[in-house]
Structure 1
Amino acid sequence: MFEDKFSAVIFVLYIVLSVNQGLIVTAAKNSDNEYSFNFTTVVLIMEFNKLFVSVAAYLMKNSVQSLQGEIFQNIKLALLYMLPAALYCLYNNLQFVNLTNFDPTTYYILLQSRIVITGFIYQMFFSVRLNLKQWMSLVILTFGCIIKQVDLLNLHQLSTYDVQILSYAAILILTQVTCSSLASVYIELLLKSRSNKVDIWVQNIFMYSASIVCNMFILWFNGNLFDAISSENIDSLCKFPVLFIIVNWVGLGLVTSLFLKKLNSILKTFASAVDLLLIAILSNYFFAVPLTVFTIISVVIVMLAIWIYSKDPIRPKVVVESNTIIASIIQILR
């Protein structure tokens, strides 16, 4: 599945940081199953930190003048990063909301529904046709998610109000899944198209700068822009769980960009599926989330799908210009 050891390290590191994030965000909730801090502010601080790390990483080998030149020469590319930045901005904020509606194990299993969505989007953007074995793994993985949803719903035990709440939560999960799938494939497209000549740290700078703008817009739209930088709100962020969330999320964001550069979006969704086994065990240990029969069956099915995919994975490739969508974007880059 991996062309070199570095790709394997990136794969494992992505899984570890992703599992950490789900557990930490859950642990940060108070006794009322709510957050005592503004999570959009947390996302904003996270993006500032990722921007700082990206700038520092670039300047370790290059000059400030070189960075300025790269930015001015690739303004169009910077503008193209506004779309995935907006999608990830929505995704990151919905993570907090959805982890209040579901336990970590259920949340991660439901997120795997993005596999099929990513498959369709990947084919459309990259002019790649998934073979029978690859589609089989996607379908099996989706079935694993359905098994968990059957366990979650238990409709005969739910009132009409409960069903409405779960329906609303399902819409939020679907929105988060769609944002993640589209943003991942879109960023991979930018990293592997003609823009792959642009330093990856410069592209990260474009991405995180755009994300900062999007998060500030959300704070302004909700009327929380000035409250977000108040001393009271800043104090609420200077606590262990929140600081850990920020540090871990910064690492996850940087590793994700390397993942999409070295590997691909399909493999990224399967890396997320590997999280299931760890999340199920750790959630049971830390949060007493029960390991039901449905959960165990679901995890086994998902792991089976990963094994099938590993037999014939999609290989990383440089984007060609045959696809009309790709051709249009590359024309903009020029």
Structure 2
Amino acid sequence: MVMSTAHYPRLKYVSLGVLVLQTTSLVLTMRYSRTLKEDGPRYLASSAVVLAEVLKVLTCILLVFKDCSFNVQSMTKLLKEEILNKPMETMKLAIPAGIYTLQNNLLYVALSNLDGATYQVTYQLKILTTALFSVSMLGKRLGLHQWLSLLLLMAGIVLVQWPTESGGASQKKNMTAGSQFVGLMAVLMACVSSGFAGVYFEKILKETKQSVWLRNIQLGLFSFGFGFIGMIVYDGQRVRESGILQGYNSITCTVVILQALGGLVVAVVIKYADNILKGFATSLSIILSALVSYFLLMDFNPTGLFYWGTMLVMAATILYSYQRKPASVSIIKTETSINSA
């Protein structure tokens, strides 16, 4: 027991670091994969979403297999009882699955029309939508500092999106006003869908005793179905002509893996860390995305307004995640110290 307690702080910071790397790597790698010029056809974003869901489901099945002490019969029985024999419970996941599928495709559209750093900061609007849906759907009450953080967030987003004349020549050349508008609308729609689907999924998890991995399997099965239908509808002709893996390379495979493991990384952070560390992880990923986008991808030229907006977004993220200790806890600690003295 002592050993696990000693390793607990280390696990928190390890999970924090993994989340920072995963978030930053996914944004920059996805952005790079969508702007990379190749002789052959570009990979289909819809197929990447489908393959990511397949990989996510397989990973969750392995985790359930581990929870069943690596017993195939026990795992099969569990999956049958919880998924097949409870169709109404399983069908509840159809709503967030469809929304998540839409969101994943919107992120590809956004990163095809925005630089990585601007996308990363703007996407923090999901904090606002998540808060609003939490209040309306879960009945949560937000403190004054949390509402203040939402105001700071909105101010930061306005500064980041504020039009300036000091943008880099390469950025203006590669991104027209129309494409930036499309990217911005895609991010905003993704923020709304992310907030609703996240809160809805949280509501389902709190109403049942099923494990997170089982729920992710159910979610992934629906997401695969919706994603596959979307791929056939929008890219069916191209799939029939060149196959589902057209344009795939090592970068594309990396994007699929990062996207599939994203939900698992967040689950690990929630298990070993807390909301404050999640806020730091989001802020650090913004900084890393901006630095890499500027120095390596060279598709972003930051301005003074962008720096101020980024600072406000980081401050808002940390402030929103800040949890004040209840007064009763402080009183109990004080009484305990007095009694022990």
> Which of 30, 35, 43 is 2:36 aligned to?
30
Q: Which letter does structure 2 place at the counterpart of 1:300? A: M
Q: Give the drift of 1:240.
A: 0.8
The answer as to whether partners of 1:188 and 1:264 remain within 8 angstroms in 2 is: no
The answer as to whether partners of 2:53 and 2:223 remain within 8 angstroms in 1 is: yes
> Which of 179, 182, 185 is 2:193 aligned to?
179
Q: Give the drift of 1:126.
A: 1.8
Residue 64 of structure 2 corresponds to: 58
> Which of 213, 222, 225 is 1:201 aligned to?
213
Q: Aligned pair 1:13/2:26, yes or no?
A: no
Q: Aligned pair 1:99/2:111, yes or no?
A: yes
Counterparts of residues 248-263 of structure 1 (less than 5 Å)? 248-258=258-268
CA distance in 1, matches of 2:41, 2:132: 35
The answer as to whether partners of 1:273 and 1:303 remain within 8 angstroms in 2 is: yes
Q: Which letter does structure 2 place at the counterpart of 1:293? A: G
Residue 331 of structure 1 corresponds to: none
Larger radius of gyration: 2
The answer as to whether partners of 2:133 and 2:196 remain within 8 angstroms in 1 is: yes
CA distance in 2, matches of 1:17, 1:249: 9
Evaluate the alpha carbon distance shift between residue 8 and residue 82 of structure 1 in structure 2; reply closer, same or farther with a 3 A threshold.
farther
Q: Which letter does structure 2 place at the counterpart of 1:77? A: E
Counterparts of residues 1-334 of structure 1 (less than 5 Å)? 5=9, 6=11, 9-28=14-33, 29-31=35-37, 36-62=42-68, 63=74, 64-151=76-163, 165-191=179-205, 193-195=206-208, 197-222=209-234, 224=236, 227-228=238-239, 232-237=243-248, 239-258=249-268, 271-288=281-298, 289-312=300-323
Evaluate the alpha carbon distance shift between residue 50 and residue 268 of structure 1 in structure 2; reply closer, same or farther with a 3 A threshold.
same
- Tell me which moved more, 101-110 or 60-69: 60-69
Q: Give the drift of 1:263.
A: 7.7
The answer as to whether partners of 2:114 and 2:180 remain within 8 angstroms in 1 is: no
CA distance in 1, matches of 2:130, 2:123: 12
CA distance in 1, matches of 2:270, 2:200: 10
CA distance in 2, matches of 1:79, 1:260: 25
- Tell me which moved more, 130-139 or 69-78: 69-78
CA distance in 2, matches of 1:113, 1:42: 25
The answer as to whether partners of 2:279 and 2:321 remain within 8 angstroms in 1 is: no
Q: Give the drift of 1:217.
A: 1.4
Evaluate the alpha carbon distance shift between residue 116 and residue 154 of structure 1 in structure 2; reply closer, same or farther with a 3 A threshold.
farther
TM-score (norm: length of structure 1): 0.80
Q: Which letter does structure 2 place at the counterpart of 1:194? A: E
User: Tell me, which stretches of 5 or more residues in structure 1 are unaligned?
Assistant: 316-334
Q: Which letter does structure 1 place at the counterpart of 2:260? A: V
Q: Cα deviation per residue 1:120-151 (whole Å; 9 max; x = unaligned)?
A: 11111221110111111121122111100104
Q: Which letter does structure 2 place at the counterpart of 1:220? A: I
Q: Which letter does structure 1 place at the counterpart of 2:320? A: Y
CA distance in 2, matches of 1:79, 1:266: 34
Q: Give the drift of 1:76.
A: 1.8
Q: Give the drift of 1:59.
A: 1.6
Identical residues among aligned pairs (%)? 22
Evaluate the alpha carbon distance shift between residue 228 and residue 262 of structure 1 in structure 2; reply closer, same or farther with a 3 A threshold.
farther
Q: Cα deviation per residue 1:273-326 (whole Å; 9 max; x = unaligned)?
A: 4421111111112112223212211121122223433442799xxxxxxxxxxx
Evaluate the alpha carbon distance shift between residue 93 and residue 84 of structure 1 in structure 2; reply closer, same or farther with a 3 A threshold.
same
User: Tell me, which stretches of 5 or more residues in structure 2 are unaligned?
Assistant: 1-7, 69-73, 327-341
Q: Cα deviation per residue 1:81-109 (whole Å; 9 max; x = unaligned)?
A: 11111111111111111111110011111
CA distance in 1, matches of 2:281, 2:86: 31
